[in-house]
Amino acid sequence: MENRWIAYLIPPFIVTLLLVAGSQFVFIQNSFYQDLGLGRTGTDLTLVNYLKFFTDSFYLKTFWITIKVSAIAALLTLFLGFPIAYVVARMKSKLAMFLLAGIVVSTFVTIVIKVFGLIIIFSADGVINKTLLNLGLIERAYSIIGTQEGVVIGLMHFTIGFSVLLLYSVVVTVPPSLEYAAQIHGASRLRVYQRVIIPLCAPGFVVGGLMIFNMCMGAFTSAALLGGGRVLTLPVLVQRTVMMEVKYSTAASIAFVLLVSVILINLFSLIAIRRLRSARLVVA
Amino acid sequence: MKKYKKSLASLGLAFGFAFGFSSMAVAGQFDGVTLKVATWGGSWKANMEKIIVPKFEALGGKIEFVTGSPAANFAKLVAGRGRAPFDVMEVLDAQVGDFAQVDYLQPINLDLIPNKVNLQPFQYNETYVGSWNTQETICYNTEKFAELGLAAPKTYADLAAPALQDKVSLPDINSGAGLANFGGVIYAAGGDEKNIQPGLDLMKKINATKFWTRGGETKTQFESGDIYAAVVHAGWCTRAARAGSPVMTVHPEIKPGVKGLAKEGWLGIMKSSENVEAAHWFINEYLTTDFQYEYAINSGVFPLNQDAIEKMKTDEINAKLMELDPGAISSMLRLDYSKVDKTAWIDGWNKTLTTN
């Protein structure tokens, strides 16, 4: 019986393998040949593209900025998304469903539109700059374009809806009765958060945080539009290398470094957290 | 008798028309032909759809567009190892060297392009036919400059004024205008194709708020007040002016005797094309006065057709913001891309001008 069900998985598996893994294999294979420009490659296997990446300060800095803005965006998105997810999860009225539906719909809006919305809001004559200028908090309109802060805001905007949905599914697994029990025993609201809700949601935070981080690491549009050509992340660099320089092998090596680094960061994070939890259990 | 004469005259007229048309184009000449043209989207494509497409359809054919920047279309070509998903392509002057290396274009039979008489001899050869050029300028907001007490800029170095910090937009090296304008800045700073460091230093000093990848971004930023000046081709400045922004252009002083910078567009026929006759027909139509003028007005490029250039003078905004004197146009800086080491330029740019 089980084997029959597994048989249904074979066609999508083959399609995925061909379309995703197959194309990626060709691309990655290219990265091990010297880049001769204009789509041409050398004939001998070599690590020269990778050596260039790991010895050139420009590539290393771009790599670091990609990790930095992705990590900051993931943390801030979790920080912003959790209270929303918690409130929606604990709502007893039908409004919760409408809010959730609104969040789902907003995630379908194309990222280009979302980013242009941000650009309008943060423009010199936009709401935020006008308000800050009128309040006398700034002397001159501030632009988020071309700054790392702007890229972080763009990445948060890109992932916030997804994070709320993800954290909502975590919060609903925590029975409200546990919170009531803690309160009955004298715990304040803050203490309930610290000792009950957050520890129980912690695995969800970790998985959610990593998923958001992964999305940010691969995000192109927000980084390209808000980076304004001044802040480069690895996905933007891959696009520039392919489009401007037509250097496929170099672009493939950058993409492969990005892919492997994301996998490794995820693995190490999960291992570290598992060890941390084991250590805590031993201490407890 | 009178009726007979009238019929004979009508018949003669009909023959005359038929004979006349057959020497230019014959109905059904392109029956079943689908010509694929690689060009930009937006107004570029719209102009062609308005003027060239109906004529081609009247001859029985169909034109499809593959939209994207020339860089994107070149990447498609390379990915397809020269097997192009289009017959005719817009090529930028900065790409001519790349095309020479990959040999993806076929020779153009100039006998099939009678409208080349509208061009100057250096604007066509056996591989390319010129399509337009752009006048790369400094476009600035006159009101904001007056508010800040700044005189109109004369050259790129004037954009480094402290009052303009974070208020200037420059073309990204990744954009279609990137190499040309970076070259202009390099020359204005005292460098050349081989010595780019003075240009990088000046670009760093200007400290642009943004490096634009599409000229249209500058129009939006002028309107929102995010920028007070941009290095962009005059066509985008005329569009901003037509939209109501108080802008003016300056053709920057590049070096003694050279004022302004020109970027040129070309048309090429792909080696893999099976619609060679139609491709020649298309290029010929591109050079008509009507199309060149419409194109210039709607897309902001500068026509190569001499009659269209004359017509440009009748438009007030063009006359004000564009250089229409043939002598001045021909003395503008045109980069020698065969001397440009693109990798070194991009490398220098990335390391100096990105906040990385």
Out of A62, A120, A246, closest to residue B356 by CB: A62
Of all residues in chain B, the percent with pLDDT exceeding 70 is 92
A59: distance to nearest CA of chain B, Å? Answer: 9
Q: Which pLDDT belongs to residue B351?
A: 93
Of all residues in chain A, the percent with pLDDT exceeding 70 is 98
- The answer for B 56-95 residues in CB contact with A (under 8 A) is 69, 71-72, 74-75, 78-79, 81
In a domain, A214, yes or no: yes
Report whether pLDDT(B14) > 70. no
From chain B, pick out residues whose CB is under 8 angstroms from the CB of A125.
224-225
Q: Which pLDDT belongs to residue B101?
A: 87
Q: Residue B77 is part of a domain; what is its CATH number?
A: 3.40.190.10
Identify the band that residue B17 occupies on the pLDDT scale cut at 50, 70 and 90: very low
Q: Which pLDDT belongs to residue B12?
A: 45
Report whether pLDDT(A94) > 90. no
Q: Are residues B84 and B192 in the same domain?
A: no
Any A CB within 8 A of B343 CB: yes
In a domain, B234, yes or no: yes
Torsion sign (Cα): A274, A275, A278, A280: negative
Q: Higher model confidence: residue A23 or residue A2?
A: A23
In a domain, A215, yes or no: yes
Q: Which pLDDT belongs to residue A2?
A: 63
Q: Which domain holds residue B111?
A: 30-133+264-323
Please state, rounded to an integer, the average pLDDT across all residues of chain B. 90
B226·A232 Cβ contact <8 A: no
In a domain, A30, yes or no: no
From chain B, pick out residues whose CB is under 8 angstroms from the CB of A58.
347, 350-351, 356
Report whether pLDDT(B13) > 70. no
B174·A228 Cβ contact <8 A: no
What predicted TM-score, i.e. pTM, was given to this entire model?
0.85
In a domain, B146, yes or no: yes
A146·B356 Cβ contact <8 A: no
Q: Are residues B157 and B295 in the same domain?
A: no
From chain B, pick out residues whose CB is under 8 angstroms from the CB of A27.
none
**Across residues B165-183, what is the average pLDDT?**
94
Q: Are residues B309 and B268 in the same domain?
A: yes
Backbone φ and ψ of B174, nearest 5°: -80, -10
B173: distance to nearest CA of chain A, Å? Answer: 8
From chain A, pick out residues whose CB is under 8 angstroms from the CB of B173.
244
Q: Residue A181 is part of a domain; what is its CATH number?
A: 1.10.3720.10
Q: How many domains does chain B have?
A: 2
Q: Are residues B201 and B342 in the same domain?
A: yes
Length of chain B: 356
In a domain, B9, yes or no: no
Chain A residues with CB-CB distance to B under 8 A?
Answer: 37-39, 57-58, 61-62, 65, 120, 123-126, 140-141, 143, 145-148, 224, 228-232, 240, 242-246, 248
In a domain, B172, yes or no: yes
Q: Are residues B45 and B127 in the same domain?
A: yes
B208·A146 Cβ contact <8 A: yes
Q: Which domain holds residue A103?
A: 49-283
B354·A229 Cβ contact <8 A: yes
B321 and B135 in contact (C-beta within 8 Å)? no
Q: How many domains does chain A have?
A: 1
In a domain, B6, yes or no: no
pLDDT in tens, B123-171: 999 999 999 999 999 999 999 999 999 999 999 999 999 999 989 999 9
**A60: nearest CA partner in chain B:** B356
**B222: nearest CA partner in chain A:** A124
Q: Are residues B248 and B289 in the same domain?
A: no
In a domain, B20, yes or no: no
Q: Are residues B302 and B219 in the same domain?
A: no
B98·A65 Cβ contact <8 A: no
A167 and A204 in contact (C-beta within 8 Å)? yes
Q: What is the ipTM of this complex?
A: 0.83
Q: Are residues B208 and B255 in the same domain?
A: yes
Q: Are residues B121 and B139 in the same domain?
A: no
In a domain, A7, yes or no: no
pLDDT in tens, B37-91: 999 988 889 999 999 999 999 999 999 999 998 988 998 888 888 888 899 999 9
Residue whose tokens read 């020109």:
B262
Q: Higher model confidence: residue B3 or residue A46?
A: A46
Report whether pLDDT(B108) > 90. yes
